[in-house]
Each structure stands twice: as structure tokens, then as C-alpha cells.
Amino acid sequence: MKIAIPVENKTLEANVSTVFGRANYFLIYDTEREESVFVDNLAQSSAGGAGIKAAQTVVDQKVNALLTPRLGENAADILEAAGIKIYQAINASARKNIDAFGDGKLSLLDEVHAGFHEHGDN
Amino acid sequence: MKIAVLSGKGGAGKTLVAVNLASVAKKSTYIDCDIEEPNGHLFFKPQAVREEEVAVLIPQVNHDLCDGCRRCIDFCRYNALAYIKERLIVLAELCHSCGGCNLVCPQNALAEIERPIGKIQTGISDPVTVKTGFLNIGEASGVPIIKQLLAGLETTADSLTIIDSPPGSACNVMESVKEADYCILVAEPTIFGVHNLNLVYELVKLFNKPFGVVINKCLETENPAEKFCVENNINILARIPFDRELGLLNSNAEIAVRKKEEYREKFSALLNTVAKEVRHEAAAYSQR
């Protein structure tokens, strides 16, 4: 299966990004072939709705699961609509997360934040 | 004459000033642009209220015509569109109603439909016409409501319109002051108050609006807001004392000038000062 992980750098040793929508890259990892591909996150410089554009990127990579420490509401809606399972990443490297996922140690993400797509009205 | 009343934070006294200024004029229109939490109507208790809906246009997808080219997705700056499982989806709350997706679609697969985001109530509290904007809970932007509130206003020299702006200095506030002839900045005499005053001070300078400051809740002690005004050469239009009676009237949603002659005189004086400033500005502008 294919999994996506938001990462800060283009290596397996890179830390999982603390944000999803504005992560630097997405690691797309094929668990059977043990192959990794790093995809630029074009949503990073978005004025708004970065989570949606980032989710679109992940969906287009046809992954089965996303490992992320947190996720906004809009992005979660899109990933769910695409049938992608969302798991809670641990605060460690991408490789450690892949291993933990393989060992069945990651749980499904149960908390989705409301997002930061306000307009600074106050 | 259109006068906007604004402040960098909530609770400084915008509505106190706006409601009482509108009430000392022979005839006026009070417009509550604080669409997230309008409270001017609680003071005026307007009668014969008419209601109109405010809606924005958002795209609607004809899935039979959409071939998934994604030009609309690439065009949308707000990422309000996504293509999931061979279906285009619209994230309505993120749409800014620019209509661009519709324009770039080569298949004519997009149409525009109305999405209600709030309402406007218009009523009378003699001699004040009271217009209030309400943004539906959960909506991100009230700008379209403010646009509709301020559209088609009378602009004669002797008609008075008081615009009660939202707090802060973001899009909502900018929209509410765009058409104003003059801005009244309401500030509290504290260091925090000065910080917030500075936000709206920067804003009115950016918009090149003539303006003056009303300092609310003044004590005999040190007054940082007054100091800020002096240092920046800002005209202080009035100082409202920290007055228990005024505070009590206001917290009971009473209009102070309708209850006590002393307050009527003070707010009349403020309105005269502002009217003079506006005439002065108009004259200065025509000489430029």
C-alpha cells in the first residue's frame, strides 16, 4: 500500500512536519516495494485553503493512508471523501513513523481542528 | 455626510458614540456594520422592521459536462475547489464569489447559485432609520453584507449617516469606512487602548480619510491615549469621562441622549465639531 507523510526535508530521516497544509514536502512511501518519492507541496504558499490544495496533492498520489500529527477540517473532509485513512503520526522521523505504522502501532486520528482559514476579522 | 465610528478593539465605546451621535441629529440613518455581533438595534429597538436576505454567488457543478480538466482548481486562489474520485467538489465557505472558475471552464460545466450568508433589517426609531447587518453564525466573511448595507445611500450634504464599524482593522472594517467622509476613532485611555488606537490610526491614514479621536472612560490620572494623540498630532474631538451614570444607562441598552439633557448637549457638541471638520475637509479638498 501507499502512504503519505508530511515532512520537513527530502529524506526518510526527516522529521514529520508539525503542519499538514503548509508542510514542505510529502513523502509518498510504497510499503510493498519499499520505495519513497518526495513530492513538493505546492499549497505551501497559498493565500488560503492550503489544506485543501495539499489534500488534493495527496489524493492525486493515490495513497491509501496519511500519517500526520494534525489536520484541518477541510483537508480531512477531502481525504475522507477520497477514502484515505488518516493516522496520528508520532513526533519522530518519517522512517520511525513508517515502522510504527507497519507494526500497527499508530491509531486513527480522532481530533480534527477547525482550520485557520479565517480572514483575521478581529 | 457619512461618518464611520471605529476602534481597534471591542468594548471601547463605538456603539455608545455611534448610537448617541445618530440620536442627536434632527434626522439620521444609523448603520450597524458590526455584522458578527450587531448590538445597535438593542438600543434603538426599531419599529416596522423589514428584512432582506443577503446571498453570495457560488459555483454549482454540472457533473455531466465536467471533464476534470482542473482549470478552475488551478485558477482559484482560495482553493475552494477540489477534484476527488472524478468529481469536482465546491468548498462553499472558502469561495470569495469572484466567478473566475465559471469564466475559465471550457465545458460550461459551472453555473452560479445563490448561497445565503446573512440578512439586513431596516426599521425606524424616530427620527433615526436603523439598518442592521447580521452574518450567519459560522460564516467566514461579512464583507458582502456590509457592501449591501452601504449600497445606494443618500449622499446629500445635510443627510447624516452614522456607520458603526466592526472592531479591529481587517477587511470588514475597511469595507465599512471606504465610503465614509470622516472617521471617528474611539479609544480607551490605557496602554492597551493605545495599541488598538494605533491599528485604526494606521488604517485611516492608509485610506486617506480625515479623522479625529474620541477618548472614552477618561479618568483624572495619566492618559496614554491622549499622550499618543498629542505626539502624533491627532485631533481629539472629545473626552468622555468615566461616568457611572452613563455606563449604567449604556449597559441597560438606553440611549443616553434620550434620557438626560446633559448628555444630549455633549453629543450635540461632538456632532457639531465633526460636521465642522467635514466642511473644513470638503473646502480644503476643493482648493487642492
* Within-domain flag for A63: yes
Residues B204 and B121 in one domain: yes
Q: Where are the beta strands (DSSP E) in B46-187?
A: 47-61, 81-84, 87-90, 110-125, 128-135, 160-164, 182-187
Residues B283 and B158 in one domain: yes
Q: Roughly how many angstroms between the first and final C-alpha of chain B, as a whole number?
A: 20
How does pLDDT run across B53-102, given as a tens digit for each residue? 999 999 999 999 999 999 999 999 999 999 999 999 999 988 999 999 99
Q: Which residues pair with B56 in a beta bridge?
A: B115
Residues B41 and B78 in one domain: no
Residues B167 and B187 in one domain: yes
Q: Roughly how many angstroms between the first and final C-alpha of chain A, as a whole number?
A: 45
Size of interface A-B (CB pairs under 8 A): 64
In angstroms, what separates the C-alpha of B22 from chain A's closest C-alpha?
25
Task: State whether A121 and B171 contact (CB < 8 Å).
Answer: yes
How does pLDDT run across A87-122, given as a tens digit for each residue? 999 999 999 999 999 999 999 987 777 665 444 333
Given a cut of 90, is residue B125 above it in pLDDT? yes
Mean pLDDT of chain B: 94
Q: The CATH number of the domain where A59 resides is what?
A: 3.30.420.130
How does pLDDT run across B102-120, given as a tens digit for each residue? 999 999 999 999 999 999 9
> Nearest by CB to A122, which of B94, B141, B167?
B167
Residues B163 and B22 in one domain: yes
* Within-domain flag for A19: yes
Residues B127 and B206 in one domain: yes
Residues B168 and B237 in one domain: yes
CA of residue A90 relative to chain centroid, distance: 12
* Residues B140 and A74 sit within 8 Å (Cβ to Cβ): no
Residues in A closer than 8 angstroms to B94, CB to CB, are 48-49, 52, 74, 117
pLDDT of residue B287: 63
* Within-domain flag for A59: yes
Q: The CATH number of the domain where B201 resides is what?
A: 3.40.50.300
Residue B178 to residue B185: CA distance in whole angstroms = 15
Check if B82 contacts A (Cβ < 8 Å). Answer: yes
Per the structure block, which three cell numbers stand in for A89?
A: 503520526
Chain A interface test: which of B79, B90, B195 (most A C-beta within 10 Å)? B79
Domain count, chain B: 2
CA B127 to each of CA A31, B27, B38, B47, B59: distance values in angstroms, whole numbers, following the listed order = 74, 5, 20, 12, 42
> Nearest by CB to B79, which of A50, A121, A122?
A50
* Within-domain flag for A38: yes
Given a cut of 80, is residue B30 above it in pLDDT? yes
> Nearest by CB to B78, which of A49, A83, A121?
A49
Check if B104 contacts A (Cβ < 8 Å). Answer: no
What is the length of chain A?
122
Q: Which domain holds residue A36?
A: 2-102
Task: State whether B78 and A48 contact (CB < 8 Å).
Answer: yes
* Within-domain flag for A42: yes
Residues B67 and B123 in one domain: no
Residues B143 and B250 in one domain: yes
Q: Quick one: chain B helix, strand, coil %, rounded to 5? A: 35, 30, 35
Q: Is the dihedral of CA B258, B262, B265, B266 positive or negative?
A: negative
Residues B232 and B163 in one domain: yes
How does pLDDT run across B158-200, given as a tens digit for each residue? 789 999 999 999 999 999 999 999 999 999 999 999 999 999 9
Q: Which domain holds residue B169?
A: 2-54+117-287
pLDDT of residue A114: 66
Q: What is the ipTM of this complex?
A: 0.83
Pick the last residue of a domain from B108, B127, B145. Answer: B108
Check if B100 contacts A (Cβ < 8 Å). Answer: no
Residues B42 and B100 in one domain: no
Tally: H helices and E strands in chain B: 11, 11
* Within-domain flag for A66: yes
B194 backbone dihedrals φ, ψ, rounded to 5°? -65, -40
Peptide bond into B127 cis (omega under 30): yes
DSSP string covering B145-161, please? Answer: HHHHHHTT----TT-EE
A59 backbone dihedrals φ, ψ, rounded to 5°? -60, -40
Pick the last residue of a domain from B108, B140, B174. Answer: B108
Domain count, chain A: 1
Given a cut of 70, is residue B252 above it in pLDDT? yes
For range B243-272, the mean pLDDT: 96
Residues B101 and B139 in one domain: no
**Residue matched to cell numbers 482559484:** B76
Strands B110-125 and B128-135: antiparallel
Q: The CATH number of the domain where B85 resides is what?
A: 3.30.70.20
